[in-house]
Amino acid sequence: MEIEIEDETDPGKPRRRKAKPVFLWGGATGSGLADLAPIHRADRSHARSPAVRAVGIPKGVGLHCPRHYFATLLIHEGASVKTVQMALGHSTPTVTLNTYVGEWPEAQDRTRALVDNALGLVPRMCPPLDAA
């Protein structure tokens, strides 16, 4: 079943697009597949709460958590910004970077290495310690 949704992946450029919903909820009559409709944002909690309690998921862990887990898993396994952007369906790499910039470990390691290398050159640029 394909429906039209408001896509606000990039808040600066919201648009309408077609999507296939993953989660469906029985309609008013509940008589079968024809009555299934996408779970609206307002209905999610009502539909999800009993299942969440039954399996012991802690409060505050929502449907978006697996998405963040997926993204950080890709990042920590070496995926590029572009790869993560495409996997998550973000409109631009900037959206991905704004959300996950602190997760790219090589960026932090590279920054440290740049500073370490620069500081390693300081003695050559400064007078020797015993000259002070």
pLDDT at site 99: 92
- Domain chopping of the chain, boundaries: 1-61, 64-132
pLDDT at site 55: 84
Q: Which bin fits 78, alpha (ψ -120 to 50), beta or left (φ > 0)?
A: left
With residue 37 as reference, give the H or E element that holds it: strand 37-38
pLDDT < 70 regions, the chain:
22-45, 47, 105-108, 120-132
pLDDT at site 63: 73
- pLDDT single digits (tens) 64-86: 888 899 999 998 888 999 999 99
Cα–Cα distance measured from residue 57 to residue 74, given in angstroms and rounded to the nearest whole number: 24
Indicate yes or no: pTM above 0.75.
Answer: no
